[in-house]
Amino acid sequence: MNHKNMNFRTDLALERRDLYRKANDIKEEIPGIKTEEEYKDSMTISRVKILNDEGANAIGKPIGNYITIDIKDLRLASEEEIQKAAEILSEELKKLYDVHLEEKQDILVVGLGNIGVTADALGPNVVRDIDITRHLLKYAPQYLEEDTRSVSAIAPGVLGTTGIETQEILKGIVDNVKPKLIIVIDSLASKSIERISSTIQIADTGIVPGAGVENTRKEISENSLGIPVIALGIPTVVELATLVSEGIDIFIERLQEKSKSNGFLNELQKEDKYEEVKEALKVGDYNMIVTPKEIDDLIENMSSVVARGINMSL
């Protein structure tokens, strides 16, 4: 198997690491990658560190830190649980500020996505709830505490509604507003439907918008913008072919348990069924990405978690 060309169908470093280990029968850690897990208030915090090119090539993600916070049952979350999740997010963000920022330097928050599409509205929703200070520092500093950090925010829309690459828009804003760090909120694709709007991935490597859904555009990163970019990614969709492909694996496992297995079945399971399934399922343009029926509530709760987490961290 060609390790470099795996099609992961997920933007989460954690899921990619697990897929890579499974596909390559690696029992220990992948060379060039280090992982830690922590449990806190019924949430799981995983820290995947890609240390060098070997690790980066294995799972197709740049060198850097990827922190994943898994929140259970966010759909039914109480006020209290939302608050707790926001606190954990805030702590993780502060650790990254310590690495990438001097005290009280300007931050720009960017909410990617299309406010008119429920499953894609998380970024713009978060921006709406961020506590902005930049204009007050300029026009009404007397209302702010002395050491308030300058925070600005923008929801630049998506290529399909603006006709402009997000990177082109951000470049102009960075040139004029001159922040020292960007926090980007983005909707991701994951492999598992239970992670939808229930998991946050924090990466200090920036992002390529839409990469997870086969829609590559220009990256948003220190490389392209000249300042550090922290990416907050939240899975909101799963590809249909991924779902079915997983389903077939599960199905075959069940058959094997019932000792119906034979050589053929084993072979079946080793193959990458994804491309096959994807081809077979192609029924038009809009069949490839699915989102659970409860997406409205999920997005609302996750927006609260992220907006509060960012506000607390500033």
Of the candidates 104, 250, 266, 272, which one interacts with a second copy according to CB under 8 A?
Answer: 250
Q: Which stretch binds a second copy (CB under 8 A): 24-32, 51-59, 87-95, 253-261?
A: 253-261
Min separation Cβ 264 and a second copy, Å: 6
Min separation Cβ 251 and a second copy, Å: 6
Q: Which stretch binds a second copy (CB under 8 A): 14-22, 63-71, 140-148, 192-200?
A: 192-200
Q: Which stretch binds a second copy (CB under 8 A): 14-22, 50-58, 223-231, 254-262?
A: 254-262
Window 210 to 239, contacts with a second copy (CB under 8 A): 237
Window 118 to 157, contacts with a second copy (CB under 8 A): 118-120, 127-128, 132-136, 150-157
Window 31 to 90, contacts with a second copy (CB under 8 A): 73, 75
Window 260 to 299, contacts with a second copy (CB under 8 A): 260, 262, 264-265, 268, 273, 276-277, 279-281, 283-287, 289-298
Question: Which tokens in the block code for residue 307?
Answer: 């907006």
Using the rule CB under 8 A, is 169 a contact of a second copy? Answer: yes
Give the whole-angstrom CA distance, residue 287 versus residue 244: 12
Of the candidates 255, 256, 269, 311, which one interacts with a second copy according to CB under 8 A?
Answer: 255
Using the rule CB under 8 A, is 159 a contact of a second copy? Answer: yes
Give the whole-angstrom CA distance, residue 60 versus residue 199: 20
Min separation Cβ 30 and a second copy, Å: 26
Measured from the Cβ of residue 139, the count of other Cβ atoms closer than 10 Å reads 8
Q: Which helix (H) or strand (E) holds 154?
A: strand 151-154
Total residues at the site for a second copy (CB under 8 A)?
A: 82
The three state secondary structure string of 206-256 is CECCCHHHCCCCCCECHHHHCCCEEEEEEEEEEEHHHHHHHHHHHHHHHHH
Question: Which tokens in the block code for residue 100?
Answer: 């990438």
Closest to a second copy by CB, 23 or 288: 288
Q: Is residue 292 left, alpha or beta, with left meaning phi > 0 and alpha meaning psi from -120 to 50?
A: beta
Min separation Cβ 28 and a second copy, Å: 27
Using the rule CB under 8 A, is 162 a contact of a second copy? Answer: yes
Q: Which helix (H) or strand (E) holds 108?
A: strand 107-111
**47-50 contacts at long range (C-beta below 8 A, 24 or more positions apart):** 48/13, 48/14, 48/17, 50/13
Q: Residue 26 contacts by C-beta under 8 Å, 6 or more apart in sequence? A: 20
